A and B are shown apart, each in its own frame.
Chain A
């Protein structure tokens, strides 16, 4: 591959990883549509490459959050029973789902994620920073496990981490503090994405030439993003990321309506 292309992919990975870590979303929702719309990659390949980026984000950010004891490893491990099961089933099925259907599902997920980020941005506009994590005991495991199974399914099907599904469920139904929910979701997405990545890799849907520079960028971006996340006002980051995901959603819908993603 040309040097310019390698550097461009590294830059995209750096931005997606950095913004993702700052906004608390995996970079996946940015990378898959970018690859599918602007690089002309078939959806299955775009998803396969993104799964590796999700593992990279999870590994880089979790190293820091686990060190700071924000991640609830026991809760994460329990819910992973459901996310990995969902991801495995979905990854096996994904191969027989046609590209346009995947693109429609992905566009819906982009709109949903954009909506939930706007809500989060609105809530965070005057919020004070949470200094310490309050005591809690996770509740409602059946609801958490069911939501995790669905989030895992979406991860295997669309290559995303599924954070926008798991984090609200952990926060609202399991009564886990938001920071812990976000960090725990970050921990889980690596294991979930790896489960589907093995299936995609085995089928030859992971383009290593595209994945390598992207992953390198994502690593650097998310390490930096996670490190400075406590010092940056999340409001502006969220607005920026919503603008990107909103734009990508419009592009995907436009391409679908004009007969793309065949």
Chain B
């Protein structure tokens, strides 16, 4: 594994952690707020939306890392995955 790959793994891992902790904090905070304020439910739903967004974020970050390594093949592969996931998003919104 090259030094660039090791660095890329670190960035990706930090992205995943950030998404996980942000979603968890919003959900738990929202659940506690819900009992005293009705808008707490919106915070909870926001946490779930952050959760739903992390997979897209991890593809984007991986894609950027591949581009920085000049690894066009895998940048293109990531872009393909991103296209399918975004297609699912738009089909889901329409449904």
CB of A220 within 8 Å of the partner chain: yes
Interface of chain A, helix or strand or loop or mixed?
A: helix
Tally A-B pairs: CB < 8 A. 145
Partner of B27, one of A55, A190, A198, A215: A215
Please indicate which of the listed interface residues B8, B84, B87 has the most CB atoms of chain A within 10 Å of its own CB.
Answer: B84
Q: Are B81 and A208 in contact (CB under 8 A)?
A: no
CB of A78 within 8 Å of the partner chain: yes
Interface residues of B in 1-57 (CB under 8 A from A): 1, 5-6, 8-10, 12-13, 16-17, 19-20, 23-24, 27-28, 30-31, 35, 41, 44-45, 47-48, 51-52, 54-56
Report the nearest B residue to A152, measured CB to CB. Answer: B84
By a CB distance below 8 angstroms, the chain A residues around B44 are: 208, 212
Please indicate which of the listed interface residues B45, B48, B78 has the most CB atoms of chain A within 10 Å of its own CB.
Answer: B48
Q: Are A63 and B55 in contact (CB under 8 A)?
A: no
Q: Are B88 and A84 in contact (CB under 8 A)?
A: yes
Q: Are B51 and A55 in contact (CB under 8 A)?
A: yes
Chain A's nearest CB lies how many Å from the CB of B22?
Answer: 10
Q: Provided the pairs A60-B20, A219-B23 are in contact, do residues A197 and B87 lie with their beta carbons within 8 angstroms?
A: no
Q: Are A215 and B54 in contact (CB under 8 A)?
A: no
Q: Are A77 and B55 in contact (CB under 8 A)?
A: no
Chain A interface category by residue count: 35 or more
Q: Are A195 and B95 in contact (CB under 8 A)?
A: no
Partner of A199, one of B1, B27, B92: B92
Q: How far is the CA of A155 from the CA of B59 in the complex (A)?
A: 19
Q: How far is the CA of A150 from the CA of B41 in the complex (A)?
A: 36
Binds B, one of A31-39, A85-93, A241-249, A251-259: A85-93
By a CB distance below 8 angstroms, the chain B residues around A208 are: 41, 44-45, 48
Q: How far is the CA of A198 from the CA of B27 in the complex (A)?
A: 19
By a CB distance below 8 angstroms, the chain B residues around A84 are: 81, 84-85, 88
Q: Provided the pairs A199-B92, A201-B92 are in contact, do residues A66 and B16 lie with their beta carbons within 8 angstroms?
A: yes
Q: Scoring A residues 190 to 205 as 1 if CB is less than 8 Å from chain B, else 0, what string do you get? A: 1101111111111100
Q: Are B28 and A216 in contact (CB under 8 A)?
A: yes
Q: Are B13 and A220 in contact (CB under 8 A)?
A: no
Q: Are B48 and A194 in contact (CB under 8 A)?
A: no
Q: How far is the CA of A236 from the CA of B56 in the complex (A)?
A: 36
Q: How far is the CA of A78 from the CA of B73 in the complex (A)?
A: 10
14 contacts between A and B (CB under 8 A): A52-B52, A59-B54, A62-B16, A67-B13, A81-B81, A84-B85, A88-B87, A194-B56, A198-B85, A200-B92, A201-B52, A208-B45, A212-B27, A216-B28
- 17 further contact pairs, Cβ within 8 A, besides A55-B52, A59-B58, A199-B92: A59-B16, A59-B23, A69-B5, A69-B9, A71-B9, A81-B77, A85-B84, A88-B84, A194-B85, A195-B85, A198-B89, A199-B91, A202-B91, A202-B92, A213-B31, A215-B23, A216-B28
